[in-house]
């Protein structure tokens, strides 16, 4: 069965500093990979996705992520965070046999931005 691990429950970063959120997955083949962001009391918004091709993917709001097959990782990065980036971030893996119909989510990383 597929699984996702986000090892950092909570991260605090200064505004303007760089950010890296970790995501490790377990899946037998090349998976579909996603990063979503959630503001308090809201739904999830897609930041970026990896289906195939270039392993460095660009997303919205200046985020990027790199798929590393050898490390089973899909870490999310941003070179300079803004106060509005404070939110909860979820990594998810999709079963390629089902397209994206069956997603498994990590437990999330809460990001706090300090001035």
Partner 1 sequence: DGGITQSPKYLFRKEGQNVTLSCEQNLNHDAMYWYRQDPGQGLRLIYYSQIVNDFQKGDIAEGYSVSREKKESFPLTVTSAQKNPTAFYLCASSTRGRPQHFGDGTRLSIL
CB 109 within 8 A of CB 37: no
Is 41 an interacting residue with respect to partner 1 (CB under 8 A)?
yes
For residues 57 and 40, give the distance between their C-alpha atoms in angstroms, rounded to a whole number.
Answer: 26
Q: Are 75 and 59 in contact (CB under 8 A)?
A: no
Using the rule CB under 8 A, is 102 a contact of partner 1?
yes
Scan residues 9-38 and list those touching partner 1 (CB under 8 A): 9, 34, 36
Considering only residues 71 through 90, tell me which ones interact with partner 1, judged by CB under 8 A.
90
**According to the binding rule CB under 8 A, does residue 108 interact with partner 1?**
yes
Residue 51 Ramachandran class (φ > 0 left, ψ -120 to 50 alpha, else beta)? alpha
Using CB under 8 A, list all residues that contact partner 1.
Answer: 9, 34, 36, 41-46, 49, 90, 99-103, 105-108
């Amino acid at each position: 069965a597929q699984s996702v691990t986000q090892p950092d429950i909570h991260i605090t970063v200064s505004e303007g500093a760089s950010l890296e959120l970790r995501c490790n997955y377990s899946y037998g083949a090349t998976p579909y990979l996603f990063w979503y962001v959630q503001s308090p009391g809201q739904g999830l918004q897609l930041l970026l996705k990896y289906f195939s091709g270039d392993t460095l993917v660009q997303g919205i709001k200046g985020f990027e992520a790199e798929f590393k097959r050898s490390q089973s990782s899909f870490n999310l990065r941003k070179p300079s965070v803004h106060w509005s980036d404070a939110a909860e971030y979820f990594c998810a893996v999709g079963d390629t046999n089902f397209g994206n119909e069956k997603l498994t989510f990590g437990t999330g990383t809460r990001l706090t931005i300090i001035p």
